[in-house]
Amino acid sequence: MNQTVEQVNQVIQQRYKAGFYTDIESDRVRAGLDEEIIAMISAKKEEPSWLLEWRLKAFHHWQTMREPNWAHLKVPAIDLQKIHYYAAPKQKNRPKSLDEVDPKLLETFDKLGVPLHERARLAGVAVDAVFDSVSVGTTFQKELKEAGVIFCSFSEAVKEHPELVREYLGSVVPFTDNYFAALNSAVFSDGSFVYIPANTRCPMELSTYFRINARDTGQFERTLIIAEPGSEVSYLEGCTAPMRDENQLHAAVVELVARKKAKIKYSTVQNWYPGDENGKGGIYNFVTKRGDCREDDARISWTQVETGSAITWKYPSCILRGDRSAGEFYSVALTHNHQQADTGTKMIHLGKDTTSKIISKGISAGHSNNSYRGLVRIAKRAENARNYTQCDSLLIGKTCGAHTFPYIESANSTAKVEHEATTSRIGEDQLFYCRARGLDEEDAVAMIVDGFCKEVFKELPMEFAVEAKALLEISLEGAVG
């Protein structure tokens, strides 16, 4: 009997392959959130005084705010005073190149399938790896520099390019935006910074890998991408965390600025630890992501595959300010066991002839709840704006929930907004057909789910699409039968 339990446990453990913990000495600040801690984080990062002031302003504003409760989520009380807001692997000096990075860290990222070392050259993707509160290394910096592209950690950007950071920080997501954005603005530790100069196509895919490792910490990173007129960039983001019984908080902010005719493509495969099959542990993922099509003909596209986190609260949005600017949102959100997700997008049409497209696929299994929440707002002067939204939900099992809450607001009579949504279960006839062809039930479900998500997967860069597909299959294990 005991052996069986063990075997089952092993299988479950296997399901979340990124659930290991790296034993590395870490330097962290005491738990708690106050002005002193914020000053401490700022000092550790050797920040200029304007940034500390900005952090403190955000903190004071945050103190006046309340946790949002409008989402279709049951969020247990989070004691923000018990969190260590800064944790970094101990090292004497910041490594100048990857060769100086602690081998243990490199090993961690190797294990996660994100090889940082030079051999990663073959993969042809530049990676910024963030471990707890700091960036441990960024690859291909030299090659990118030749093209004029800046891709570095946020802390480095503050030191090397303070004028850019100062100009754009908080210009898309001000610290007054919402509770978690304010919290992030006060305590953010690291993240990635990308700057693509005018008329430049970034020579390779850029990517950030976020890893939470230390116990009782949260991760509060900030990503800022600036695409100058006529530039183009594709950016990927991945994330994992060890398996723990306690919940950990992840509250990130991502800001994208696309200037005239610039294109930004932002893809995420979110695989934070989702908690065990009883809903114990897992990451609380409260993220504010927003792109600003600031000038004419700009284009921002969000693609996300959400399989992890105990709770997901995330609405990557586009502000379509420039005329003829375009926003896209492609999403697959899968929840299993006791996971909860309330995710979607906002498309704010301000400019003339702006277009947006939303394709959202929600899959719920186990005891999970999966909600799509989206806003399409057509402002008064958004002549001829156009939106198309499709959100489909798939239910697997009798105890899960799938919900759709689309908000559609139109104040311009020349605009066209279309929305359609369906909810259904995997058809018996589809399953029967697959099984008659010799597939077992689990494979059949995986195949049907893959087909259901195809529209979104085809938007992902190839390596990510393969990973996303595999992830979905693993996450669905045990969902049927």
Partner 1 sequence: MSALIDSLATEARLPADDHAAIRRRAHKALLQHGFPDLKTEAWKYTSLRVLEKRAFSEQQAGASALPALPFAATLLHFDNGILNVDDLDLPAGVSLQPQTEEQLAAVDHGDRAGAFAWLNLARFEQAWHLQIEGHLEQPLVLAISTAADFQNDVHPRLLIELAAGARAELIEVHEDRGEGLVNIVQDAALGRAAFLRHLVSRQSAQSAWIQRSHVRVARDADYRFHTLDRGGRLTRHDLAVRLTESGAHAEVDGTVLVNDRQHVDFHTAIDHEVGHTNSRESFRILADGTGVGVFNGRIHIHRGADDSHSDLNTANLLLSESARINAKPELEIYAEEVTASHGATIGQLDDAALFYMRSRGIPADQASALLKQGFAAAPFENIESESIRDWLMGELAELV
Residues interacting with partner 1, by CB under 8 A?
70, 72, 378, 380, 393, 395, 397-425
Q: Nearest distance from residue 421's CB to partner 1, in Å? A: 5
Going by the DSSP 8-state scheme, the letter that residue 362 receives in this structure is: E
How far from chain centre, in Å, is Cα 130? 13
DSSP code per residue over 233-284: EEEEEEEE----SSEEEE--EEEEEE-TT-EEEEEEEE------TTS-SEEE
Which phi and psi angles does 178 have, rounded to 5°?
A: -160, 170
**Cβ closest to partner 1, residue 63 vs residue 424:** 424
Closest to 118 measured CA to CA, from 106, 130, 108:
106
Place of tokens 């114990």: 280
Query: In this complex, which beta carbon is closest to partner 1, that of residue 71 or of residue 187?
Result: 71
For partner 1, the closer of residues 427 and 451 by Cβ is 427
Look at the block and give the residue holding tokens 């991760």: 219
Q: What are phi and psi of 31, to 5 degrees?
A: -70, 155
List residues bridging with 209 in a β-sheet.
129, 238
Quick one: 159 exposed, middle or buried, by C-beta within 10 A (0-12, 13-18, 19+)? middle
Tell me how far, at minimum, the Cβ of 387 lies from partner 1, in Å: 9
Provide, rounded to whole angstroms, the least separation between the CB of residue 362 and partner 1.
Answer: 10
Confirm if 291 and 266 have CB atoms less than 8 A apart. yes
SS3 content of the chain, % helix, strand, coil (to 5): 25, 35, 35
Q: Which is nearer to partner 1, 407 or 432 (CB)?
A: 407
Question: Considering beta carbons, is residue 251 or 395 the nearer one to partner 1?
Answer: 395
Report in angstroms the alpha-carbon separations of 408 from 118, 177, 291, 376, 419.
Answer: 48, 21, 19, 5, 9
Q: How far is the CB of 399 from partner 1 (least distance, A)?
A: 7
Return all residues near 103 (Cβ < 8 A) that are at least 6 apart: none
Residue number with CB closer to partner 1 (293 or 402): 402
State which residue, 398 or 437, has the beta carbon closest to partner 1: 398
φ/ψ bin of 412: left (φ > 0), alpha (ψ from -120 to 50), beta (otherwise): beta
Our CB check for partner 1 shows the closer of 217 and 368 to be 368
Rounded-to-integer distance, Cα 226 and Cα 209, Å = 19
Select 84 or 349, whichever has its Cβ closest to partner 1.
349
Element (H, E) at 354: none
